[in-house]
Amino acid sequence: MFKRSIKYLVLVVINIVILAALYIQQNQKDSDAIDTDYMISLLDANTKLEAEIEALEAKNSLLESSSESAQTQLTQTRGLVDRNIAQLAQCRNDQAAALALSKQQARERAKITSSQVYNAEECSDNAVQASFLGKQLNSMKERMADLNNKNSDLSTQTQVLRNELAKVNEESLRFSKEKLRLQETIRELERDLSSNIYLKQVYTTPTYCQPPRFEELVCVERLLVRPQFSKKPTTDVRTTLRDPNGKVIGRFSFDSTKAKLINFPFPRDSESQAGEYTVTFEVNEMELVEKLELKH
């Protein structure tokens, strides 16, 4: 399963390179300006992703080997525990039978003593049997103690193996999550290459002045705007800020390779209408729109 995933990722990387080549050829037809730095950075990013995937593959192979070894040891330990439990149960049954026989003989000796009628030969036989049974009981007690100690050691080993197996499973889960993250990154790069430019996110920071006289108004000194595009623009970016009524507050045109932050100053010490303002970006012959709320 993992090898098929790696083959899929390699095919995806090859597709990205092909798409990048097609993208360069298309841009060569539409414009004389080609953003080679951007394409090289994408290829470098794909190379790094491929290296990370190879490292994760090696790590996953080690984790699978460790997991199989821990599972084998756990199975063997469980077998030993089951056999020792069976032996311990047999010892307990033998001990119970010996105790029952000893009690029965003790009752018989008590009857003989109370009636004062017994012969020396029977007494001697009972003494021999009692001594034999006592030795058997002591031997069984020693075996039970030994089995209890072995079971305790095996239980400890079993717990250690379970802890190691849990760690291996945790590492495997973390590897799976990292693999999914890399796959999603590759898919996102592929989408960015094959689709038109779009706004991934727009960071806006307004600087407010004194509170306005009415709730419908807002006092703003400046608005800082920082756009993040899905890919590097091939043209200059023209940005326009409009108030809720569509009135232009400011326009700004910049080179996408240099400017990162746009400053829209508002009229000094004046109040504007509160509400939804619109920021328009004209780039790559497309118009991208972002809306934001300005109010106290």
Pick left, alpha or beta for residue 22 (phi over 0 → left; psi -120 to 50 → alpha; otherwise beta). Answer: alpha
| Cβ pair 281, 242 in contact under 8 A | no
88 contact partners, CB below 8 Å, separation of at least 6: 144, 147, 148, 151
The DSSP output letter for 269 is: T
Three-state DSSP class for residue 1 = coil
Look up the CATH number of domain 2-194. Answer: 1.10.287.2610
Retrieve residue 57's tokens: 């593959």
- Domain ranges in the chain are 2-194, 199-294
The pLDDT of residue 31 is above 60: no
Rounded Cα–Cα distance for residues 105 and 128 (Å) = 12
Query: Please, which residues have CB within 8 angstroms of residue 154's CB and are 6 or more apart in sequence?
Result: 77, 80, 81, 84
Pairwise CA distance, residues 27 & 21, whole Å: 10
Our CA dihedral for 84, 88, 90, 93, rounded to 10 degrees, sits at: -170
Strands across the sheet with 237-242, in order? 248-254, 237-242, 275-283, 286-294
The CA-based angle 67-69-73, given to 5 degrees, is 115
User: What is the total residue count of the chain?
Assistant: 296
Q: In whole angstroms, what is the distance from residue 201 CA to residue 254 CA?
A: 18
191: enclosing H helix or E strand: helix 120-194
Check pLDDT > 60 for residue 28: no
Strands 275-283 and 237-242, sheet pairing: antiparallel
Nearest residue to 20 via CA among 50, 46, 52, 51: 46
Which tens digits make up the pLDDT trace of 238-296?
Answer: 999 999 999 999 999 988 777 678 999 998 878 888 999 999 999 988 899 999 999 87
Q: What percent of the chain lies above the pLDDT cut of 90? A: 19
Q: Work out the average pLDDT over 201-210.
A: 91
| For the chain, percent of residues with pLDDT exceeding 70 | 72
- pLDDT at residue 267, rounded to an integer: 86
pTM score above 0.85: no
Separation CA 209–CA 221 (nearest Å): 6
Task: Using the predicted structure, report yes or no on whether residue 122 has a pLDDT greater than 90.
Answer: no
Q: Which residues are registered as beta bridge partners of 171?
A: none
The tens digit of pLDDT for each residue in 61-90 reads 777 777 777 777 777 777 777 777 777 777
**For residue 30, pLDDT beyond 60:** no
- Enter the CATH code of domain 199-294: 2.60.40.3080
CA-closest candidate to residue 238, choices 223, 222, 225: 225
